[in-house]
Structure 1
Amino acid sequence: MRFKFLYTWLLVLIVLNTNAQLNLPVTLYAQHNQSMFNAGERVYSKIYVRSSKGLHMQPLNIYVDWYNPEGSLLTHQIYLTKFGGAEAGFEVPVDYPFSFLRMRMYTAGSLKQSSDFQFFDQVVFVNQQQNLRSKQLVDSALINPIPIQSDESIVVKKVVSSFNAKGRNEWVIENKGKDFLNLSISVAEEESFEFPKYTILQHFKSPISANQQLKTDYYDAFVQVKGILKMPDLNPSNASLVFSLFKRGQMPIIDQVPLGSDGSFSIDRLIFTDSAQLSLQLDYKGKRNQKFELSYQQLGLFKTAPLYAFNFYDSIPVFYSRLKNTNWMNYQKQDDNEVVVYTKTKSALEILEEKYTTGLFKGGDAVDFNMMLPTVRSFPTLFHFLQGKVPGLQIFFQSATSTQAMDSAVTAGRKEEESGIFGTPKFSWRSSQDQIKFFLNQVPVSVDALLQLPMADIAYIKVFRPPFLGAGMGAPNGAIAVYTKQGDEADFVPKKSKLTGFMLYGYTNPISFLSPDYSTEKRRAVIDKRKTLLWVPTIHLNHDKPNQGIVYYNNDRSKKHRIILEGVKQNGELIRKEWIVE
């Protein structure tokens, strides 16, 4: 009994300690891949979260609002942290006319903190060439020297280094200590490098002073929905509430939600990007088509953000460049995709071809069809859909009642049933009457198997002109290949569904940094003038995984590289290492 009592108290203390850490005030800081961006470029960021207990390891929703200098909102973003960090980003508009952006970070809990800790603002500078040429610029290296931390627990070892055009570089980051580390690293060409306005050692506020004035109503992590069913004489023991989350391009999430005694319910731990439709269905024992009144609320600040903001600490920030109007500074960087590879936008049919076909079924002399369009489902069979759509291919339906094999009405009924209610399809390429071969997911099948296939299950069709060499014995008179959906295609809630649905807002999908691979000669032909050579926003190191290697390639011009490593230990200590390789 004594041990049971002690165990219970230990469990209570653990739960109370966890809840206390969850609701601790936090502070935020962001590292960027560059300090100066051009219009049309992407800003890649890593947001760190720490509390008075150290790195905030529990998941937490981070909200980021981007404003122009006039205080107008450009976009509202939401990110979910993992082990005290979150990857973020923003694309500067191509026609952006201002010299800087304002990045405002906060949490639902920080809005209840003291005024100095409600928002964590940073300025991101945008290169406007006409302003740089006409202004006297001061060397920022003399004005704002950057403190460098010497942390013995982190060692960065060079494996290979090359400053040739598109030369390969490899480094290994090693954690010598036992503490968990959350790191991010950027590698930039030194010739165009501008000293950053922010560093983690100078500008990451101490969370000790971030007193929380009011207790938060809930812990804001993941996508959460709370609601209540309003029904007279509701008996939750006889009711079952099922939710379905529908997101384009993904399989729906279906689960059951427990109901409280008052009809209340809570759905949490949902993760999806952009938006999704949440649908609810009530199953009540002994009653069908039960109607109910529902009120719900999506928790957090997913939908709204102030359209205007004017309470920024730095009203008119000034950028001091160390580069005196050189061609390095004025260079307008192309989009990452254009730097790395030559590509073009793929059509819907090209995407389907790449997704479904393999081997000899890929490419070839064929006419293909996207079967995921809404109008496709109006056709009774795929052969009715193909009628008149393939030049040279004739499709007609021969009813069993028109054949000479009809001996009786019973026999006719059986024939009709076997061949489908619309008769047996017959095919011919121009004058040829020989049989076409059929494939379902590249496996040979009979025409009857395709007749029974629901139109809603078909994703893609390819009609191969004769001859087709993909068949085992060949198909001199062509083939029809049908591909069914794999389950990850876009879906929707059918009309007249029993489900009651409403839209939810999800997380912003950060764009991954594209690091080119020049190990093959084909890729080495592109012109590369990247300023950021490498950006790795998330590096997790601990005692079990102490090392991580990084590989990047030089651009076509740089002879010096500046490497900046920033991060936070689990105990809250800040990390910054910076050095030049030449």
Structure 2
Amino acid sequence: MIMSLKLLYTSIFLFIIVSAKAQLNLPVALYAQHNQSIFNLKERIYSKIYVRSPNGLHMQPLNIYVDWYTAEGTLLIHQIYLTKFGGAEASFEIPADYPFAFLRMRMYTLANLKLLPNFQFSDQIIFVNQKSNFSQKQMLDSVNSSSVKFQSDESIKVKKVFSSFSTKGRSEWLIENKGKDFMNLSLSISEEESFEPPFYNIIQHFKSSNLTSQPPKSDYYDAFVQVRGQLKLADLNSENANLVFSLFKRGQMPIIDQVPIASDGSFSIDRLIFTDSAQLSLQLDYKGKRNQKFELSYQQLGLFKTAPSYAFNFLDSFPVFYAGLKQASWTNYQKQDQNEVVVYTKSKSALELLEDKYATGLFEGGDAIDFNMMLPNVRSFPTLFHFLQGKVPGLQIFFQSATSTQAIDSAVTAGRKEEESGIFGTPKFSWRSNQDQIKFFLNQVPISVDGLLQLPMADIAYIKVFRPPFLGAGMGAPNGAIAVYTKLGDEADYVPKKSKLTRFMLQGYTNPFPYISPDYSSEKKRAVVDKRKTLLWVPTIHLNHDSPEQRIIYYNNDRSKKHRIIIEGVKQNGELIRKEWIAE
């Protein structure tokens, strides 16, 4: 009986694992809602991308690739986004000199590309207002019909708390999930006076993923930033070796962890999330040896660096937009400089350039002593605290022995052994008779002394030692602070040829522009000109049984008396949601 139960539980467990893997490999369809239908030059497009599989909303994280093309097929930018609960926020700023009446947004996954040439990309047309390029005619029925009939979805309830159509008036709405299913929504509110019906809506244009077009099997699932590599060591014993990786990005705490090494020297680093780029450092440690020198081959998985080859296979090659009867004379308010100012300045020193590049906010300037850590002699010091010894007037640094309570001065020379130098002891600090009250920062994020001890000297670019008091820290740092900055990847390479550290740059996700809604709650904030067409854009609204409501607050512009509100989204079971109405 016990054996039968064990077999039953094992079968259920294996079924769950197989089902989960099968969910990951299902084909997906993509669709995007935008904050408005027509955009001006230099205006930002805000988008919400939805991902749906045959089983419903694709809840697992997935890498989505977005390519923006001109009307003639020139690639403007290649973007990468990570979905969360079946959705991802995206954005793109139209260039000031863009000459065409529309641009193309192409969305796809890595699995989609493996189905080519049978796969049809998820493409959308974004119209650009070139002033003279639009005819003031009635919009085509095929385009206008999507918004002539207002749509009301019964799965969500929208309640007006209050609304004001006065200049910069405040409105408030409450969105409620009437069911128990999880739903992922996005919301746009526009002034009706300049509103043009969208070219796409989620009901008509969100295609169902095709089960017959099952993507070929892959040895990995394309989600997060992933790196695969292989160590090139003839006598590698993986049981006695540890591969330690460190991921450094400005303004974030470093990620330091170990990854297993297979018998053939291969390794995999996955589930990394960062935007723009980051530096990955690898260090191989053998038992009984330190900082073993090694060579490796590596590959960053996915399409983070380049877009696939362009093929002009759009279904609608040359779309034509016919503007409605409304005269949309207002454009989004943009600050314009009236006069050109020419400033002459002298060339800056190396330390001044480092200050401009790394220090921001309250860490800029101040009463501090700074150090260029990219000089060759810096690598001879085992830690940054050994480097700082004797270089800052008034600051004393010594090490507490790990085996003794007596503080010993670990004046380090390059030829002495680490065990004799006190490097494994605890750093102690004395500044104007105050001990151990100095605060530490890595890329302007608070960090412990132990965290800085693990930081390789080869990764440090710049150090600032602030004399007391330092006001840039939370609650202040009355006894001073030490700010350490790691390299961004574009610095000159000063690493000696015999360095035991291997490092390289990784490409990360595109950082979407956040939509900033004005707050006119105080009279002082209202003293601006507001010509916004989009009054509010909320790209992500998650509603479920436990959190069934979302409160929406926004402010009117200077002229609108009617507001067009559109809500789109997908339930977890795959059902599509669209609700559109006019508030007046």
In the TM superposition, residue 492 of structure 1 has moved relative to its aligned partner by: 6.1
* Matching residue of 1:501: 503
1:168–1:553: 8 Å Cα contact kept in structure 2? yes
Provide the rounded CA distance (Å) in 2 between the counterparts of 1:322 and 1:492: 49
Provide the rounded CA distance (Å) in 1 between the counterparts of 2:524 and 2:320: 43
AA matched with 2:464: A
- Tell me if 1:48 matches 2:53: no
Mark the CA change 1:252 to 1:495 in structure 2 (over 3 Å): closer, same or farther: farther
- Tell me if 1:459 matches 2:464: yes
Counterparts of residues 482-501 of structure 1 (less than 5 Å): 482-485=480-483, 489-491=485-487, 495-496=495-496, 497-501=499-503
Mark the CA change 1:9 to 1:578 in structure 2 (over 3 Å): closer, same or farther: same
Provide the rounded CA distance (Å) in 2 between the counterparts of 1:67 and 1:160: 42
2:157–2:175: 8 Å Cα contact kept in structure 1? yes
Provide the rounded CA distance (Å) in 1 between the counterparts of 2:367 and 2:505: 34
In the TM superposition, residue 278 of structure 1 has moved relative to its aligned partner by: 1.1
In the TM superposition, residue 140 of structure 1 has moved relative to its aligned partner by: 4.1
- Tell me if 1:334 matches 2:339: no
- Tell me if 1:138 matches 2:138: yes
Could you say what secondary structure the match of 2:322 adopts? coil
Provide the rounded CA distance (Å) in 1 between the counterparts of 2:22 and 2:538: 32
Provide the rounded CA distance (Å) in 2 between the counterparts of 1:448 and 1:525: 50
Could you say what secondary structure the match of 1:7 adopts? helix
Mark the CA change 1:283 to 1:373 in structure 2 (over 3 Å): closer, same or farther: closer
The CA deviation string for residues 75-133 of structure 1, in whole angstroms up to 9 with x for no partner, is: 0000000000000010111111111110000000111236454411001111001223x
AA matched with 2:164: S
Provide the rounded CA distance (Å) in 1 between the counterparts of 2:307 and 2:515: 27
1:68–1:100: 8 Å Cα contact kept in structure 2? yes
The CA deviation string for residues 312-335 of structure 1, in whole angstroms up to 9 with x for no partner, is: 1111011121135x2xx2433234
2:136–2:325: 8 Å Cα contact kept in structure 1? no
Please, which moves more after superposition, 234-243 or 80-89?
A: 234-243
Could you say what secondary structure the match of 2:184 adopts? strand
Provide the rounded CA distance (Å) in 2 between the counterparts of 1:48 and 1:114: 21
Considering only aligned residues, what root-mean-square deviation do their CA atoms show, in Å? Answer: 3.9
Whose Rg is larger? 1
Could you say what secondary structure the match of 2:323 adopts? coil
In the TM superposition, residue 449 of structure 1 has moved relative to its aligned partner by: 9.4
Mark the CA change 1:79 to 1:372 in structure 2 (over 3 Å): closer, same or farther: farther
AA matched with 1:303: K
Normalising by structure 2, we get a TM-score of: 0.76
In the TM superposition, residue 24 of structure 1 has moved relative to its aligned partner by: 0.1
Provide the rounded CA distance (Å) in 2 between the counterparts of 1:456 and 1:242: 21
Provide the rounded CA distance (Å) in 1 between the counterparts of 2:183 and 2:35: 19
In the TM superposition, residue 352 of structure 1 has moved relative to its aligned partner by: 6.2
* Matching residue of 2:272: 270
Mark the CA change 1:286 to 1:63 in structure 2 (over 3 Å): closer, same or farther: same
AA matched with 1:68: T
The CA deviation string for residues 340-395 of structure 1, in whole angstroms up to 9 with x for no partner, is: xxxxxxx97899685369xxxxxxxx975684766899999799889xxxxxxxx9
AA matched with 1:15: I
Mark the CA change 1:526 to 1:350 in structure 2 (over 3 Å): closer, same or farther: farther
In the TM superposition, residue 521 of structure 1 has moved relative to its aligned partner by: 1.4
The CA deviation string for residues 378-424 of structure 1, in whole angstroms up to 9 with x for no partner, is: 999799889xxxxxxxx9xxxxxxxxxxxxxxxxxxxxx9xxxxxxx
Match of 1:544 among 543, 546, 550: 546
Could you say what secondary structure the match of 2:539 adopts? strand
The CA deviation string for residues 497-516 of structure 1, in whole angstroms up to 9 with x for no partner, is: 52101111100001100001
In the TM superposition, residue 248 of structure 1 has moved relative to its aligned partner by: 2.0
Mark the CA change 1:250 to 1:59 in structure 2 (over 3 Å): closer, same or farther: same
* Matching residue of 2:577: 575
Mark the CA change 1:4 to 1:101 in structure 2 (over 3 Å): closer, same or farther: same
* Matching residue of 1:355: 362
AA matched with 1:78: I
1:129–1:330: 8 Å Cα contact kept in structure 2? no
Counterparts of residues 181-220 of structure 1 (less than 5 Å): 181-208=183-210, 211-220=213-222
* Matching residue of 2:224: 222
Provide the rounded CA distance (Å) in 1 between the counterparts of 2:15 and 2:229: 31
The CA deviation string for residues 17-59 of structure 1, in whole angstroms up to 9 with x for no partner, is: 0000000000000000010000001000000000000000000
2:232–2:265: 8 Å Cα contact kept in structure 1? yes
Structure 2 unaligned segments of length 5 or more: list them. Answer: 338-352, 379-383, 395-408, 410-429, 441-451, 453-459, 470-477
Match of 1:251 among 250, 253, 258: 253
Counterparts of residues 360-509 of structure 1 (less than 5 Å): 368=367, 371=370, 445-446=432-433, 459=464, 461=466, 482-485=480-483, 489-491=485-487, 495-496=495-496, 497-509=499-511
1:27–1:117: 8 Å Cα contact kept in structure 2? no
In the TM superposition, residue 337 of structure 1 has moved relative to its aligned partner by: 12
2:33–2:48: 8 Å Cα contact kept in structure 1? yes
In the TM superposition, residue 336 of structure 1 has moved relative to its aligned partner by: 9.2
1:148–1:576: 8 Å Cα contact kept in structure 2? no
2:225–2:270: 8 Å Cα contact kept in structure 1? yes
Provide the rounded CA distance (Å) in 2 between the counterparts of 1:534 and 1:460: 44
Mark the CA change 1:205 to 1:300 in structure 2 (over 3 Å): closer, same or farther: same
In the TM superposition, residue 255 of structure 1 has moved relative to its aligned partner by: 0.5
AA matched with 1:221: A
Mark the CA change 1:484 to 1:131 in structure 2 (over 3 Å): closer, same or farther: same
Provide the rounded CA distance (Å) in 2 between the counterparts of 1:514 and 1:67: 26
In the TM superposition, residue 543 of structure 1 has moved relative to its aligned partner by: 0.3
Provide the rounded CA distance (Å) in 2 between the counterparts of 1:31 and 1:285: 55
1:186–1:565: 8 Å Cα contact kept in structure 2? yes
Please, which moves more after superposition, 107-116 or 455-464?
A: 455-464
Provide the rounded CA distance (Å) in 2 between the counterparts of 1:336 and 1:6: 68
Counterparts of residues 547-562 of structure 1 (less than 5 Å): 547-562=549-564
